[in-house]
Amino acid sequence: MPKINEEVESQLALDKPSMYKVILHNDDYTTMEFVVMILSDIFHKSIEQAEKIMWDIHQKGKGVCGVYTHEIAQTKVEQVLELAKDNEFPLLATMEEE
């Protein structure tokens, strides 16, 4: 029986996942040092990047910390809120689709 080699092309339509911005909002009680620590620890920003974002938050009322898939963005928002609550700060983190 002859051997038959067949090449089967398979195309999978892979859509890029929706991306979400994680945003920190300014308030009158959360310290700048705490915001820089959040940006460094949770969002893995350098001190220079964290300070720049912190000033954006302070001056503009909010700042984007990063852009992630839905699940990662949601986890980061939850981490921020939990850490803020544990340290008795009202820091608000939200996410919105990019």
User: What per-residue confidence (pLDDT) applies to 23?
Assistant: 98
Cβ-based burial of 5 (10 A; exposed 0-12, middle 13-18, buried ≥19): exposed
- Quick: pLDDT tens for 63-87: 999 999 999 999 999 999 999 999 9
Tokens (6 digits) for 1: 């029986």
**Which of 48, 54, 46 shows the shortest CA–CA distance to 24?**
54
Q: Where does the pLDDT of residue 32 fall: very low under 50, low under 70, confident under 90, or very high at 90 and above?
A: very high
Helices (H) and strands (E) in the chain, counts: 3, 3
Domains along the chain with CATH numbers: 24-97 (3.30.1390.10)
Tokens (6 digits) for 2: 């002859």
Give the pTM. 0.83
